Structure 1
């Protein structure tokens, strides 16, 4: 039996992603921060000094994409990129004072966003959802 358009899980995930991205984009609009750039900043607010490679790995993005976003964040004055003396091929990203101040404003918005998205979903349901998403990602990775 052929699935209808709405029955494809990939369509449901895509619609949800678009909806979430649109919502967070609206919330971040006044901060000169795109949703994907916010992901990098969230990682740096958690642990400053990550390398571009570490960020690419954590976000599942290619290094070129991360380098481009890092350049944009640096131009905005939120981060600085430093080449560590022990590895000339690597670039570490550090928050500037403006980047740290931005975190004080954006982190509460990110936490509120998470609360809104997870409203009415139990801790057990969230764990099951994360397990299912991991399985989907694993299935895709194993099929490549």
Structure 2
């Protein structure tokens, strides 16, 4: 550790995490292009496939996105016919997001993506589980 310098790029934790996130998102691109959605839109769709009818705030909480970032994503998904946004009758300040039939049908095509990504990365189930557990452990510590 005699040549260790805390500000060298190679000594940073954040840099390889940033690069791997960017590169993995790039690997998703061809699969998502087939569905006519971006990676961010894919994340929104996954949240809604899990539980339809969430409020904009609930979707934002799940994805760690503020409404200023999320609203344009939802508008683009709505213009593509995948979701609709509706104000709650009980409280018009609250907007819920619902899948359209077209958005629901997209889930079937999207189901192939995780396996395609695993093959693209040439990782075993065990590799993926170990990586996810490590990343989740770090995320949990950050969120405390």
User: Which among 30, 38, 55 is matched to residue 26 of structure 1?
Assistant: 30
TM-score, length of structure 1 as denominator length: 0.83
User: Which among 74, 77, 80 is matched to residue 76 of structure 1?
Assistant: 80
In structure 2, stretches of 5+ residues that fail to align are none
In structure 1, stretches of 5+ residues that fail to align are none
Map of 1:14 onto structure 2: 18
Map of 1:55 onto structure 2: 59
1:126 paired to 2:129: yes
Name the SS for the 2:49 alignment partner. Answer: helix
Aligned length: 140
Distance across 1 between alignment mates of 2:42 and 2:92: 27
Deviation for aligned residue 1:132: 3.8
Deviation for aligned residue 1:30: 2.1
TM-score, length of structure 2 as denominator length: 0.83
